């Protein structure tokens, strides 16, 4: 297969509510429209990745279910029935335009391991260099609760970060982000642009939960926007029910809501620490340690820890919280939760002689730490 030179990289995410189709436009028609639009951009030299839901919904339809099961095992089995059907639809639709696709199934565990994350990045990079369109979905058949992304909005943002995308398009069943819920608030107005992470945080209060067939709502889309924009990726949220909207977005038109990328994006490893890892516990830190982290970019020392929550091993990810419960950062802990508890119960001298890491050593080193609260550290 001939390699293509990518002028721009995009990730497009479509959810269950869109793929179920609407009156006069079924799932097959929706996928056909997606394939036509993405293939045209690929033929212009752009690299495209598609993050899709729909396996559970197609499985439920094939099995004649009226409602989505609530039992985890039933959901996993329905996904197993539907995933093959979903990929056949994509393969057929893209083949009409001379495009090849590749199925990529991921769990949170695949991205929470640094080695497996890098392997996934290399695989996606190779597919894109061949001109293949990766069709990415969560591995619903195998994922357990602790290894699930919870929604494909989060997955799409992590895929965008993994491939160094320029833009993430979140296609949904509303035309933009609103200042309130337009279904119940007549004064709600559409928001055309979100300029920075601080504004995004303020808008999070308007988010709503998902519907009966989908698992993501506006809350998860804002979380995805936070992940992508903090890594320097622009995000557009728009109505995917009209095929003309996707065509317009791909052509660069301003529709829906634009989330502007951060001018100071997180580097790759810091982005992985902040977003791909699943924290196993919390370290509550005192105001002095909080100032040292935010103002001087320091490591977290044992003397600054006031309490530990959760059970974790050495090198597991933890959240660093203020005494009020506000998240300051995330990182890899050099001690297990039991060792941290032991340090907290000992004097500094006793802790130093008992553990490899005592009160004077870094419990979370700055090289393995990313701040999630605004930093005032120089540089």
Q: How many domains does the chain have?
A: 2
CATH classification of the domain holding 316: 2.30.130.10
pLDDT of residue 198: 78
pLDDT of residue 105: 93
Alpha-carbon separation of residue 237 from 8, 55, 331, 363 (angstroms): 18, 22, 30, 40
pLDDT of residue 156: 95
Axis-axis angle for helices 152-162, 218-230 (nearest 10): 10
* DSSP code, position 25: B
Q: Which of 270, 289, 304 is where one domain is finished? A: 270
* DSSP code, position 274: I
Q: Which of 270, 292, 316 is where one domain is finished? A: 270
Are 237 and 359 found together in one domain? no
Flag whether 61 is in a domain: yes
- Average pLDDT per consecutive 10 residues, the chain (379 residues; last block may be shorter): 63 89 82 95 94 90 89 89 95 96 91 90 96 92 59 91 95 85 79 86 61 59 92 94 92 93 89 88 96 94 93 94 94 93 69 49 92 65
Flag whether 205 is in a domain: yes
pLDDT of residue 351: 47
Residue 87's domain comprises 9-270
Flag whether 364 is in a domain: yes
Q: Which of 238, 270, 302 is where one domain is finished? A: 270
Q: Are 220 and 208 in contact (CB under 8 A)?
A: no
Maximum C-alpha span of the chain: 74
Q: How far apart are CA 204 and CA 185, in angstroms?
A: 16
pLDDT of residue 4: 43
pLDDT of residue 148: 58
């Amino acid at each position: 297969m001939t390699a293509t030179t990518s002028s721009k990289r995009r990730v497009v995410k479509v959810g269950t509510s869109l793929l179920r189709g609407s009156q006069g436009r079924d799932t097959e028609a929706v996928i056909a429209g997606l394939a036509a639009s993405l293939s045209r951009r690929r033929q212009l030299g752009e690299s495209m990745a598609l993050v899709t839901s729909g396996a559970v919904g197609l499985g439920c339809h094939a099995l004649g279910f009226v409602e989505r099961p609530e039992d985890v095992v039933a959901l996993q089995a329905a996904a197993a029935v539907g995933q093959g059907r979903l990929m056949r639809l994509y393969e057929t639709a893209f083949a009409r335009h001379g495009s090849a696709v590749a199925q990529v199934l991921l769990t949170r565990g695949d991205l929470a391991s640094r080695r497996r994350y890098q392997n996934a990045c290399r695989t996606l990079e190779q597919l894109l260099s061949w001109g293949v369109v990766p069709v990415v979905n969560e591995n619903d058949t195998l994922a357990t609760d602790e290894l699930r992304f919870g929604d494909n909005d989060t997955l799409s943002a992590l895929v965008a970060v993994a491939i160094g995308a320029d833009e993430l398009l979140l296609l949904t069943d509303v035309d933009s982000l609103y200042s309130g819920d337009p279904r119940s608030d007549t004064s709600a107005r559409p928001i055309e642009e979100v300029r920075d992470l601080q504004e995004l945080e303020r808008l999070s209060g308007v988010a709503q939960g998902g519907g009966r067939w989908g698992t993501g709502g506006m809350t998860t889309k804002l979380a995805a926007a936070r992940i992508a924009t903090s890594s320097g990726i622009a995000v557009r949220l728009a109505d995917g029910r009209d095929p003309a909207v996707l065509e317009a977005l791909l052509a660069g038109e301003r529709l829906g809501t634009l989330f502007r990328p951060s001018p100071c994006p997180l580097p790759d490893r810091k982005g992985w620490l902040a977003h791909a890892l699943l924290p196993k516990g919390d370290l509550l830190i005192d105001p002095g340690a909080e100032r040292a982290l935010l103002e001087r970019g320091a490591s977290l020392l044992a003397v600054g820890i006031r309490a530990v929550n959760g059970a974790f091993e050495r090198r597991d990810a933890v959240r660093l919280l203020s005494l009020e419960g506000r998240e300051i950062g995330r990182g890899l802990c050099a001690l297990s939760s039991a060792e941290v508890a032991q340090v907290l119960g000992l004097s500094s001298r006793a802790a130093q002689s008992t553990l490899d890491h005592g009160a004077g050593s870094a419990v979370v080193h700055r090289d393995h730490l990313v701040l999630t609260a605004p930093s005032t550290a120089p540089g």
